[in-house]
Structure 1
Amino acid sequence: MSLLFMGLTRYFFLLLLIVSCSPSFDEPVVLLEDYTIEDGFALEVVASEPLLVAPVAMDFDDKGRIWVAEMPGFMRNLEGTGEALRTGSIKILEDLDRDGVMDHAKPFLDSLVMPRALALVYGGLLYVESPNLWYVEIENDKPKNKVLVDSLYATVGNPEHQPNGLMMNVDNWIYNAKSNFRYQRKNGVWKKEPTTLRGQWGISHDNFGRLYYNNNSTQLMGDHVLPNRLVRNKFMVPKYGVDQVLTKDQRVYPLHAASVNRGYEKGVLDQDSLLTRVTAACGPLVYRGGMFPDDYDQNVFVCIPEINAIKRNIISFKDGLVEANQAWQGKEFLASTDEGFRPVNLSNGPDGNMYVVDMHRGVIQHYAFLSPYLKKISAQKQLDTIVDYGRILRIKNSNVPEREAIDLSVLSGKELVTALLDSNGWIRDRAQQLLIHKGKLEVVPEIQKLAIDSNNPLGQIHALYVLHGLDALTFNFLYKVVQDSSAEVVAHGLVLMENFVEKENLSKAHDIFKKLLGRNEGMIDLYLSSTIGVWADLDQELFFPVVYQLVQNYHDNEIVQEAIVSGAESILEPLDIYLKKRRDNENSGELTLLATSIDRKNNDKPNFIFSQKIAKADSRTNGATLFRQICASCHSPSGEGITGLAPSLVGSEYISTHLEQLGLIMLHGLKGPLLIHGELYDLDHQMPGLMNNRDISDQDIADIISYITNAFSNRSRSLKAAKIKSLRDQKSKSGMEYTEAELKELIQPAP
């Protein structure tokens, strides 16, 4: 018996030794019992605490590993203290035992202050640590050769309103939410260009290259046209082709009575205390993974963290324009009763699945905007104790087998060309960028074959931009591509042809433009309209008749009108004269746009995305600095407002005349409906007050008023800090935001 005991002891000791020498994998079990997802889909936990805390953005590398930005300093308590501490980091999450769950976290960068976005591009990492945009090379999973790309990327201010996103688009440019700049690295040199100001948090693109985004109260917005097609005339401000509300329905369908910031407002909650409309929409994603059912292809999913849910929108296209509608009434694609579930970003994965960045935090409303109502409820529910958590979730189609993992880093040039035809948009995008970054000139013939293969339009588009990135495109090649390709490919071909606007190409360009016009396809005509003015700059006699034909065909199409004038900055006056000679165009939209552009040009008043004047004016004053930090994110740096978000300040009666009312608005906030400059802003538009922002003093508010009256009205005026202090006690009837009617009751005739 003693020998048996000794034998068993030796066996268990050997077993313990074997186990102790094996890798240990930390895979905490997180139950998802409180989560409901659409039939046919499965929800899985990919990573969770303690591997990560408060994730806000993610990306995949070529090996399929997850890189994640953590922002644990955001709202750790109801006072919002600790934002300036260096607690943020960027980590690499790995699945060492290959079971689909991350079990190892490798720090890449730490001691960061509120990192908010990242993107794996050009063989390195692009990331944001406000106010800077940084790029760092990667060597053996370690940072190397850090480069400052932009020192003014996200200037100091409210973290809910700072630029973010860092999304590489099909056109080889990196776009952002809450920013009017795009970025690109070419031959080791970083480029920064103005672009349309888009959204608030999160950005995505479809297969064609259109951009999608949103703001807190508007769940889905986007552009009908490719980026920068309507802002090349810097004296025109487009109103119809970009920055459009795509899904008019803002209704939400929570599973429970979630805690929201303005639940005290009439109509915000229904009779069951359920939120009725979005208040914190963010992180939109066009699903392009190729693994969901066909009717889910290019659907746009939107994070609705205030009700712990994700919404599905169905997108359709007509003549190149976008239409969108909620997929269902009465339910969401994914919803939970877990108030810690805070989806803030979504991502397509290399496996074709959709990934959810769950910040998993109790309080996600920044303290500067946190209403006393939500603060009280959060304390009662102890939501402020949900802080040291974070999840990455995976959404899969339950009815298809798993896709085999692919390591793009080891693929040859020819294999990367083949990957441009993959059903997964993530694979296509990354293959495109790898071919460019690695300078795969040896496979240019194969890429050219793909670019002219009209049986694969998606592959054609990617191939064209690979050739463009490799400087391997020619006008004659593009001329060949657009002959018989689909409308989508022709559109990109016309855009890329602008790189070859030269006298020797004029005749062939005119020839192909006339042929394309004869196809009578709305999408082709839209992009032909956007480019014709650029060619007409070299030969008005040759191309003005084509412009006139487009004007005749689309006399009631505002987007085509914007496209024509956008490409005509250098010929505004002669084009205006040419069209005016034709009497049937006396009241055309083009003439109105031309007249407006000419007037803005004569008065040197460009679209604010190009303007530097406001940024430079009063740069030494506290008011100017505070305005850019706090107000410009909604009202724009020029004070001209942002469509669908905030009205123009220029010429406002509150700024030019009624300063005390302006002080009340800044302190206590303003809620709709509002009728400003003839435009109605409805109940969903609310400006939060600065009453509870402990970092903003009475003098600061007085300084802001002094600045904006000087910058946006013809009468510079100010209020003293003592007056601001007295206005703090002048509450609205509800004790919360003022209404326009209440303010008008207070207005007295100016002396």
Structure 2
Amino acid sequence: MKTKKFLLATVAIAFIMVTCQVSRQGTSDKMLKTTDEDVSAIPTFTDNPSPNYLTPEQSIKTFKLPKGYHLELVASEPMIHEPVAIAWDGNARMYVAELNTYMQDVEGTDEHAPTSRVMLLEDTNNDGKMDKSSVFIDKMLLPRMLLCVGSELLVNETDTYDIFSYKDTNKDGVADVKRPVYTPGKKSPGNLEHQRSGLDWNIDNWIYMAVDPVRFRYKKGMLVADSIPSGSSGQWGLTHDNYGRLYFSSAGGETPALGFQINPVYGRMEFDDQYSEEFNAVWPIIKTPDVEGGLKRLRPDTTLNHFTASCGQVIFRGDRLPVDLQGDLLISEPVGRLIRRAKVINKNGKITLENAYDKSEFVASVDMNFRVVNMYTGPDGCLYLVDMNRGIIQEGNWTGPKSYLRPQIQRLGFDKNIQHGRIYRMVYDGMQPGPKPKMLDESSAKLVSYLAHPNGWWRDNAQKELILRNDPSVITALKNILDGKPTGYPKETSALGRLHALWTLEGLEALNPELLAFAMKDEDPEIRKAAVKLSEPYLKKDAQMLSGLASLKSDPSNDVRMQMIFSLANSKAQEARKLSDDIVASGQGNPVFSRAVRSIEKNNDAKQFGQKLGRLDAVDRTLVMNGSVIYKSLCATCHGADGKGVASKTAPPLAGSKRLSRNTDAAVYILLHGLSGPVEGQTYPTEMPSMKDNDDQWISAVASYVRYEFSNAPAIRPEAVKSIREKTAARDKAWTLEELQK
């Protein structure tokens, strides 16, 4: 009986915590880590795991999870194959993107054949398992992004930037209407691992994605693009927390989490200590021989030693798992067959991450085909895992005949495990999954009541649906939520409701300066922060708004003051600059404020000079720009304007040259003294002449440009040229390639 009461109390606390604590930006830095005693010891480590295919029933027994947590099967083959992403509509119907041609053998044969699809799954008896399915869209080219908007589904396919809407008008589970919503008509370059993912409708009503430097607004049935000057981040996977903070991940850069300090529209801000080097270490419970890069990525016991395939991350925001999981960042590592749980900690405005366990992971498996590539908070308040459940998890670029991976794949037979896939739901002892929503069938007034729901999925989707309907009848109710008038939302317990009401009003274009001024005085810092952000359209023309912001310059929340710096950059008024300077000065050395200013400055550079050139320091940018003028007037005749040489082969190509890499100053040596003899086995009619009669600034500019343009290497400053000039002053003839290599 006591246990039952305790479990009921736990559920009640979960509801209260989500509803009341909007300002839980992350846990306190005093939050204790979960101990190993809380983690199930079944199994602990498997020295010689089997690569054989396991049925869903067999696989589900292979997971190591914390005590009380369990995985339930939601769907598997033959209902689905090769699943990579899911999306629910407002009535909890699940759409599943399948990459049916992804690495069906070690060569990647016919990978770009248009035979993939999007499935529609339904749970008709409310037991949590999908029992009805249909092919919603067939004959697709590797669909990769999904977003439900009302009764339509937006889909992006691989190799294209285009996004189309699909709709089932006769209710047979098959899309019968297709229309364009964003069609730049350009082919997307690169292999499928390096193309976009996401379509995440954030609380700020912008739709974000990884990789591409753009975000969208959904207006009148179309996606309207807005550029992100400093570029987007990440690779496969995108998530946001209760307040709109975005979390990216980059497998290619072996970076488990990035881009989470600030919204990318304000630029970039990363800290060296936002997580420790220890955080990069991962702890599989099986040997992991099939890792791209080989032995350097393995410990002596042949377990993966650090993140190499991080993806599919999610901030858990549900209400049907223990409350201490809410707000945690979960990151999948499919090569290691594990899922990291990170505590998100706000340290005076700087977000840091810590592993929730000591040399252990939240989820780990000894099923060698366990490959989670995406995770989600579900409509029922539980956590969902999308497991491709396959042998090969690397694109063909890294499984070539001479790669480390190919013999491992063939030895273990990984190339034979294809066309499977599972979707799991994580549940917890004594906590029942929540009810199924029916948002598409409910009134707008009813949707307003969900803006304070304890499950973030409900809050997000109620807000999205209200904006899609563009129903002005709810505006009064939304305003009443903000000022605490009797609407069923007691002010002291509805901070999340007020936050969503504020952003819903923005999406309905029903905000005004008076409402923002009211929100700036809210007791919750997240609402004050949102009000500051929402003031940006008014700052360019409304002096009153600027004076209203001035009242927040000493706000006790560092997050509010940092948002002030970002938002004030939208005003050219002298008072705005002074207010921003005052905030930085009052920060008493807190690096977040000075870094915020730096991010804005670099973002402005990106707007003026473009994303790549804008990332350089002003000194290096000037060198590159000056070098560009010299190169195009003097050097392009022989080397080609694109650095690929000319038809007459007068001089060697520069594009991709090893002599321009960041690890050598060979470009300076060659410019000072010239280059003679064969280059890469090719003999040219003339040798590269010495340019040493030009000063250090000139040499520096040309070297910086060719490194920047043709090798993506950093600039070389004049003082470095001076040092090399002095060191080689006695040189009176051109270098040979052999000499330079020494």
Q: TM-score, normalised by structure 2?
A: 0.72
Aligned length: 590
Matches within 5 A, 1:75-86: 75-86=103-114
1:215 aligned to 250, 255, 259, which one? Answer: 250
Q: Structure 1 stretch 354-363 or stretch 219-228: which is displaced more?
A: 219-228
**Aligned equivalent of 2:312:** 283
1:561 aligned to 594, 615, 618, which one? Answer: 594
**Aligned equivalent of 1:66:** 94
Contact 1:73 1:84 (C-alpha < 8 Å) held by counterparts: yes
Contact 2:181 2:222 (C-alpha < 8 Å) held by counterparts: no
Contact 1:220 1:245 (C-alpha < 8 Å) held by counterparts: no
CA 1:517–1:400 in 2, change beyond 3 Å: closer, same or farther?
same
Question: Within 2, Cα distance between the matches of 1:113 and 1:305?
Answer: 23
CA 1:110–1:482 in 2, change beyond 3 Å: closer, same or farther?
same
Amino acid at match of 2:258: M
What's the offset of the Cα at 1:246?
A: 7.8
1:38 aligned to 66, 74, 83, which one? Answer: 66
Question: Within 2, Cα distance between the matches of 1:426 and 1:471?
Answer: 23
2:325 aligned to 296, 303, 307, which one? Answer: 296
SS in 1 for 2:545: helix
CA 1:50–1:482 in 2, change beyond 3 Å: closer, same or farther?
same
CA 1:511–1:311 in 2, change beyond 3 Å: closer, same or farther?
same
**Aligned equivalent of 1:186:** 219
User: Which ranges of structure 2 fall in alignment gaps of 5 or more residues?
Assistant: 1-54, 485-490, 606-613, 627-638, 646-654, 682-705, 717-736
Question: Within 1, Cα distance between the matches of 2:180 and 2:460?
Answer: 24
CA 1:204–1:549 in 2, change beyond 3 Å: closer, same or farther?
same
**Aligned equivalent of 2:85:** 57
**Aligned equivalent of 1:709:** 710
1:225 aligned to 262, 287, 291, which one? Answer: 262
What's the offset of the Cα at 1:553?
A: 1.3
What's the offset of the Cα at 1:556?
A: 3.4
Is 1:255 aligned to residue 285 of structure 2?
Answer: yes
CA 1:50–1:239 in 2, change beyond 3 Å: closer, same or farther?
same
User: Which ranges of structure 1 fall in alignment gaps of 5 or more residues?
Assistant: 1-26, 232-237, 573-592, 606-617, 625-637, 640-647, 665-704, 716-745
Q: Deviations over 1:367-409 (max 9, x none)?
A: 2112632211111111111002011111112231232222111
Contact 1:212 1:223 (C-alpha < 8 Å) held by counterparts: yes
2:567 aligned to 520, 523, 531, which one? Answer: 531
Is 1:98 aligned to residue 133 of structure 2?
Answer: no
**Aligned equivalent of 2:364:** 335
Is 1:390 aligned to residue 421 of structure 2?
Answer: yes
**Aligned equivalent of 2:377:** 348
Is 1:162 aligned to residue 162 of structure 2?
Answer: no
Q: Deviations over 1:297-346 (max 9, x none)?
A: 11011111112111111112234431210111232211111111110000
CA 1:162–1:595 in 2, change beyond 3 Å: closer, same or farther?
closer
Question: Within 2, Cα distance between the matches of 1:358 and 1:80?
Answer: 20
What's the offset of the Cα at 1:101?
A: 1.1
**Aligned equivalent of 2:37:** none
**Aligned equivalent of 2:345:** 316
Contact 2:376 2:383 (C-alpha < 8 Å) held by counterparts: yes
Contact 1:78 1:375 (C-alpha < 8 Å) held by counterparts: yes
Amino acid at match of 2:112: A
Contact 1:47 1:391 (C-alpha < 8 Å) held by counterparts: yes
Contact 1:565 1:594 (C-alpha < 8 Å) held by counterparts: no
Contact 1:124 1:135 (C-alpha < 8 Å) held by counterparts: no
What's the offset of the Cα at 1:654?
A: 6.9
Contact 2:294 2:405 (C-alpha < 8 Å) held by counterparts: no
Is 1:493 aligned to residue 522 of structure 2?
Answer: no
Question: Within 1, Cα distance between the matches of 2:142 and 2:553?
Answer: 51
CA 1:296–1:656 in 2, change beyond 3 Å: closer, same or farther?
farther
**Aligned equivalent of 2:516:** 478
SS in 2 for 1:372: coil
Is 1:445 aligned to residue 476 of structure 2?
Answer: yes
Amino acid at match of 1:487: P
What's the offset of the Cα at 1:55?
A: 0.5
Contact 1:210 1:227 (C-alpha < 8 Å) held by counterparts: no
Is 1:457 aligned to residue 480 of structure 2?
Answer: no
Contact 1:241 1:562 (C-alpha < 8 Å) held by counterparts: no
SS in 2 for 1:33: helix
Q: Structure 1 stretch 311-320 or stretch 416-425: which is displaced more?
A: 311-320
CA 1:148–1:437 in 2, change beyond 3 Å: closer, same or farther?
closer
CA 1:374–1:317 in 2, change beyond 3 Å: closer, same or farther?
same
CA 1:714–1:263 in 2, change beyond 3 Å: closer, same or farther?
closer
Amino acid at match of 1:303: S
**Aligned equivalent of 1:8:** none
**Aligned equivalent of 1:197:** 232
Contact 1:223 1:242 (C-alpha < 8 Å) held by counterparts: no
Amino acid at match of 2:240: H
SS in 1 for 2:445: helix
Contact 1:655 1:708 (C-alpha < 8 Å) held by counterparts: no
CA 1:400–1:419 in 2, change beyond 3 Å: closer, same or farther?
same
What's the offset of the Cα at 1:526?
A: 0.8
What's the offset of the Cα at 1:484?
A: 2.9
What's the offset of the Cα at 1:49?
A: 0.4
Q: Deviations over 1:189-227 (max 9, x none)?
A: 422122232111101011111111211222222321234
What's the offset of the Cα at 1:657?
A: 7.5
Higher relative contact order (CA 8 A, sep 6+): 2
Q: Deviations over 1:101-127 (max 9, x none)?
A: 112221111111111221112542221
What's the offset of the Cα at 1:71?
A: 0.3
SS in 1 for 2:396: coil
Question: Within 1, Cα distance between the matches of 2:711 and 2:379?
Answer: 52
Q: TM-score, normalised by structure 1?
A: 0.71
What's the offset of the Cα at 1:652?
A: 6.8
Contact 2:289 2:303 (C-alpha < 8 Å) held by counterparts: no
What's the offset of the Cα at 1:438?
A: 0.7
SS in 2 for 1:534: coil
SS in 1 for 2:459: helix
**Aligned equivalent of 1:124:** 152
